[in-house]
Structure 1
Amino acid sequence: MSIADWPFWAVIGLFILATCVIGVAGVRMTRLADRLADVTGLGEAIFGAVFLGITTSLSGSITSIVSAYQGYPELAVSNSIGGIAAQTAFLALADITYRNINLEHAAASVENLMQGGLLMLMLALPLTAMSIPSLTVWQIHPLSLLLVVVYIFGLRQVSQARAAPLWQPKHTAETRVDVPESDAQAITGAAVVTLWLRFILLMLIVGAAGYTVAETGMSISDRSGLSQTVVGALFTAVATSLPELVTALAAVRQRALTLAVGNIIGGNSFDVLFLAFADVSYRGGSIYHAISDRQLFVIAIAQVMTAVLVLGLLRREKRGIANIGFESFLVLVIYLVAVAVLFMAP
């Protein structure tokens, strides 16, 4: 029995259940990620951006791929970029929960700044693809391949900057430096393998929940009368972004501040790759030319929010409006305005 034959209330119930599974698994992954960051020696920023960022983005990736393959390009793109906007807003919520000082001040690192620059560059590429004539090779736009190349190149640059930084943020009394736990080096062999296996298991659970969110999200879009943009940018994007919210809040609570920021910004960079994956799975040609101005609006909003966040990481304001930085305040305002615009748009 397919989901299309289910009662509407059952579809909504399954959507909520899958969302809860994503949230619970996200909490557990955060604890394992903080431990693995110390054990592997990669550090919170790199591990958060690459391993944790990719893992918590897995559900969203599957949602975009499945939606594009089944002929919902607007839902696929809105889910991808809407997730970036939602996750950036989640970082502002994490800032609110960290009462000591502005989160972007305490978690300053060259890796997170470079991740922010990489994200803005990657968001510019889909806008470029949409503004030029449709060109495909095997129904795939060349800029989708370029997205993957830019992402890999960017991660390499971030890794090299961590290994041999030519400048560092000024340390203050409130700066939280990523220092491995004292017993990290004592964990070897079978214990490390066990940590990785638990991490991979949670990753698979999140992926399965993401597939469920995609299926139920498409059904909700068809039955509710809501546009693919609204369902993708708000409902499936927020649902599949719950791991980022949960992990950011959990990391802040554990004082793993660099991990919290790195997970959001690094995960956002990986989320842009959803467009490349969706373009491959979409069989109607270039996915960049199968979407509307509303997706263009969502991409522009995500880029604006990222730029504000990077400015905050550079400025490192200690306290601002409501005891958070100006960047967190502006990010929340921009996101809420964007949500209102999407709901009011015809």
Structure 2
Amino acid sequence: MPTSLTAGIVTFALSAIVIVLAGSRLAKTADELADRTGLGEVLFGIFLLAGVTSLPDFAATLSAALDSRPDLAMSNVMGSMAANLVFLGIADIIYRKANLEHAAASSSNLMLAALLIVLLALPLLAIASPQISVWGVHPVTPVLVVGYISGLYLVRSADTKPMWFPRHTRQTVPDTPTTENHGSLVTAWVSFIVLAVITGISGWALMESAKIISDQTGLSETLIGGLFTALATSSPELVTTIAAIRRNALTLAVSNIFGTNCFNMLVVAAADVGYPGGSIYHDMAPIQMAWGLISILMTAILLMGMVRREVYGIGRIGFESALILVVYALALSLVVVSG
């Protein structure tokens, strides 16, 4: 691992590039496996692609937590979730045929957004609660894990046995398996696993270099984690989302973002377990609570957008996409001023 500032910056940049390149390949492989396994874009995006694109976040956050850097760990994962939601706004700008939330409407995506709001509220309750822990772990942490697993069951039920359906319009793009001539299924799975390992290792290297940058530049860990590492470790979500849109796999694009953020709540739980100083929720700076509240606000805005299903907004951008971009810009300003 790097020890000098120059080596740290180079390692950071190279790790970010590797994450972007691997992520661009992941979307194609994931879309192929979603069709060939019969899981569909929603379930594959939630259960597999979301976990893989979260590996850089997982490796980076756990590395910081084990090194007793609570602000760096939590600002990375919380900042990543806010960045991921912004990526949906960027994806809406790229998809010009209609509002993305309109075209990719599904009951499972609504359930995912609602689940994310519930899971995001739990760490905030832990921060506001008395400083209690059992074997160094806050009681909210196992609740996070149980809530995530239970929530996935509800999302799966909403996808396989929906109790209501979004109105189908000309702009709606359903999840329809392609009939392309693919190669070996084993080769596809091997490629998927290799890409997953590469992104995970790159995420760990990214955080190790971020520690050096933070130590030698004097920049706060909240600023480093919430801005630089958060955006870098979230880059797989951006490239996979854009790649999925270009393949017209809109459901995969949206479910990947929400599914990744839900999976990131397991990253929060892992950080609490790995943190050696007791409960991580009570040792981090108050600004981390702001990141959680901002993510809840942005998720709620997107949820309203998916319910309203505006076909076209100003400049063919949905009102929810424009609004979350403004919220994120204000959030970054808050972090910079606080840092």
TM category, shorter: over 0.9
Structure 2 counterpart of 1:29: 26
TM-score, with length taken from structure 1: 0.96
Once residues 95 and 305 of structure 1 are traced to their aligned partners in structure 2, the CA distance between those partners, rounded to angstroms, is 15
Gap regions ≥5 residues in structure 2? none
Q: CA deviation at 1:213?
A: 0.7
Structure 2 counterpart of 1:292: 285
TM-score, with length taken from structure 2: 0.98
Q: CA deviation at 1:183?
A: 5.1
Q: Establish whether residue 319 from structure 1 lines up as the match of residue 318 from structure 2.
A: no
Which amino acid counterpart does residue 25 of structure 2 have in structure 1?
R
Structure 1 counterpart of 2:335: 342
Which amino acid counterpart does residue 67 of structure 1 have in structure 2?
A
Work out whether residues 104 and 316 of structure 1, in 8 Å CA contact, stay in contact via their aligned partners in 2: yes
Which amino acid counterpart does residue 49 of structure 1 have in structure 2?
I
Q: Which of 147, 156, 160 does residue 157 from structure 2 map onto?
A: 160
Work out whether residues 109 and 258 of structure 2, in 8 Å CA contact, stay in contact via their aligned partners in 1: yes
Q: CA deviation at 1:321?
A: 2.5
Q: CA deviation at 1:344?
A: 1.1
Q: Establish whether residue 199 from structure 1 lines up as the match of residue 192 from structure 2.
A: yes
Structure 2 counterpart of 1:246: 239
**Misfit runs of 4+, over 2 Å:** none
Q: Establish whether residue 282 from structure 1 lines up as the match of residue 282 from structure 2.
A: no
Structure 2 counterpart of 1:46: 43
Structure 2 counterpart of 1:70: 67
Partner secondary structure for residue 181 of structure 1: coil
Work out whether residues 321 and 329 of structure 1, in 8 Å CA contact, stay in contact via their aligned partners in 2: no
Q: What is the percentage of aligned positions where both structures have the same residue?
A: 47
Partner secondary structure for residue 3 of structure 1: coil
Work out whether residues 22 and 209 of structure 1, in 8 Å CA contact, stay in contact via their aligned partners in 2: yes
Once residues 49 and 334 of structure 1 are traced to their aligned partners in structure 2, the CA distance between those partners, rounded to angstroms, is 26
> Are residues 183 and 323 of structure 1, via their aligned partners in 2, closer, same or farther at CA, if it must alter by over 3 Å?
closer
- Deviation track 1:31-75 (CA, whole Å, cap 9, x = no partner) reads 000001111111111111221111001011110000010011011
Structure 2 counterpart of 1:177: 174
Structure 2 counterpart of 1:144: 141
Once residues 102 and 321 of structure 2 are traced to their aligned partners in structure 1, the CA distance between those partners, rounded to angstroms, is 11
Q: Which of 223, 232, 243 does residue 225 from structure 2 map onto?
A: 232
Aligned length: 339
Q: Which of 73, 81, 85 does residue 82 from structure 2 map onto?
A: 85
Once residues 302 and 128 of structure 1 are traced to their aligned partners in structure 2, the CA distance between those partners, rounded to angstroms, is 15
Q: Which of 250, 253, 262 does residue 257 from structure 1 map onto?
A: 250
- Deviation track 1:231-275 (CA, whole Å, cap 9, x = no partner) reads 111110100000000001111111100000011010011112211
Which amino acid counterpart does residue 3 of structure 1 have in structure 2?
P
Q: Which of 214, 218, 224 does residue 221 from structure 1 map onto?
A: 214
- Deviation track 1:168-226 (CA, whole Å, cap 9, x = no partner) reads 10000000000011358xx7xx9222211110000000001001011011111111111
Structure 2 counterpart of 1:11: 8
Q: Please give the root-mean-square deviation of Cα atoms over the aligned residues, in Å.
A: 1.2
Gap regions ≥5 residues in structure 1? none
Structure 2 counterpart of 1:302: 295
Work out whether residues 34 and 256 of structure 1, in 8 Å CA contact, stay in contact via their aligned partners in 2: yes
Which amino acid counterpart does residue 131 of structure 1 have in structure 2?
A
Work out whether residues 82 and 234 of structure 1, in 8 Å CA contact, stay in contact via their aligned partners in 2: yes
Work out whether residues 42 and 159 of structure 2, in 8 Å CA contact, stay in contact via their aligned partners in 1: no
- Deviation track 1:126-169 (CA, whole Å, cap 9, x = no partner) reads 01101111221111111111101100101111111211111110
